[in-house]
Amino acid sequence: MVATLLRLRFRVLGNQLARSPWQLVGFLLGAVYGVLLLAGIVAGLVALGFGDIRLAGTVIVGAGSLVTLGWALIPLVAFGVDTTLDPDRLVVFPMSTSKMMVALTLAAVCGIPGIVTSLAALATIATWAHWPAAIVAWLVSTPVAVLTAVVASRTVATIAAGVGSGRRFREVAGILVFIPLILAGPIIAGLATGFTVNADTLTEMVPLLGWTPLGAAWAVPADAAAGDLAAAAAKLLIALATLGALWVLWRAALARSLARPRLASRAAVRAGSIGWFGRVPTGATGAVFARALTYWTRDPRYLRQLIAVPLVPVLLWFYARDGDPLVALAFSAPIIAFIIGIVVYADISYDGTAFGTELATGARGRGDRLGRILAAAAVAVPLVLLAAVIPFAFAGDWRQLPGVLGMALGILFTCYGVCAVTSAQLVVPVAGSGDNPFKRVPGTTFLQGMAFFGIWLVALALSAPAIVVGLIAYFTQNAALSWIAFALGIVLGTAVLVAGILIGGRMLDRTGPVLLARLKAMKNA
Amino acid sequence: MPPAPPAAPAAFAAAAAATNGGVAAEVAALELRGLHKRFGQKVAVADISLRVPTGSFYGLVGPNGAGKTTTLSMATGLLAPDAGQAVVHGVDVWRDPVTAKAMVGNLADGVKLFDRLTGEQLVTYNGLLFGLSHDEIAQRTADLLSLMDMTDAAGTMVVDYSAGMTKKIALACALVHAPRLLVLDEPFESVDPVSAANIEDILAGYVAGGGTVIVSSHSMDLVQRMCDHVAIVAAGRLLVAGTVDDVRAGQSLQDRFVELVGGRRHTEGPEWLRRS
B145 within a domain of the structure (yes/no): yes
**Count of alpha carbons within 13 Å of B14, Cβ hemisphere only?**
4
Coil/strand/helix, residue A137:
helix
In a shared domain, residues B119 and B82: no
Chain B contacts of A354, Cβ < 8 Å?
111-115
- Give the number of other CB atoms < 10 A from CB of residue A76: 19
Tens-level pLDDT at each residue, chain A (525 residues)? 778 878 887 887 777 677 667 767 777 887 788 888 889 988 988 888 888 888 888 888 888 998 898 888 776 653 344 556 667 677 777 778 888 888 888 888 887 788 888 999 998 888 888 888 888 889 989 999 999 999 998 888 787 766 655 555 555 555 665 666 666 666 666 665 655 555 666 677 778 888 888 889 999 998 888 888 898 999 999 999 999 999 999 998 888 777 765 544 555 677 667 788 888 888 889 999 999 998 888 777 787 778 778 888 888 887 776 777 777 888 889 999 998 888 888 888 888 888 888 898 888 889 999 999 999 999 999 999 998 888 888 878 888 888 899 999 999 999 999 999 998 888 887 777 666 555 555 555 666 778 888 888 999 999 988 899 989 888 888 888 889 999 999 999 999 999 999 999 999 988 989 988 888 887 665
Which of B96, B114, B160 should one mutate to test binding to chain A, selecting the residue with the greatest count of A CBs within 10 A?
B114
In a shared domain, residues B93 and B230: yes
List, for residues B103-160, the tens digit of each pLDDT value: 999 998 888 888 888 899 999 999 999 989 999 999 999 999 988 888 888 888 888 8
Last residue of a domain, one of B136, B162, B178: B178
Coil/strand/helix, residue B44:
strand
Residues B88, B76: Cα–Cα separation, whole Å = 9
Q: Do B129 and A363 touch (CB under 8 A)?
A: yes
> Residue A345 has what DSSP assignment?
G
In a shared domain, residues B94 and B19: yes
> How many residue contacts between A and B have a Cβ separation below 8 Å?
138
B53 within a domain of the structure (yes/no): yes
In a shared domain, residues B240 and B165: no
List helix spans (H) across B76-219: 97-102, 119-129, 134-147, 163-175, 193-208
- Domain hosting B24: range is 1-7+14-103+180-261
B92 within a domain of the structure (yes/no): yes
Number of domains chain B is built from: 2
B268 within a domain of the structure (yes/no): no
Residue B249 belongs to domain with CATH number? 3.40.50.300
Q: Do B115 and A291 touch (CB under 8 A)?
A: no
Q: What is the 3-state secondary structure (H, E, C) of B172-208?
A: HHHHCCCCCEEEEECCCCCCCHHHHHHHHHHHHHHHH
Locate the chain B residue with the closest alpha carbon to A276: B121
Last residue of a domain, one of B162, B178, B194: B178
In a shared domain, residues B125 and B158: yes
Residues B250, B140: Cα–Cα separation, whole Å = 42
B269 within a domain of the structure (yes/no): no
Instruction: Give A507 to chain B, closest Cα distance, Å.
Output: 10
Domain boundaries, chain A: 2-259, 279-521
Q: Beta partners for B37?
A: B45
Cα-Cα-Cα-Cα torsion B90, B96, B98, B104, nearest 10 degrees, comes to 30
ipTM over 0.85: no
Q: Do A362 and B102 touch (CB under 8 A)?
A: yes
Q: Do A360 and B108 touch (CB under 8 A)?
A: yes
Structural contact between residues A312 and A390, judged by C-beta atoms closer than 8 angstroms:
no
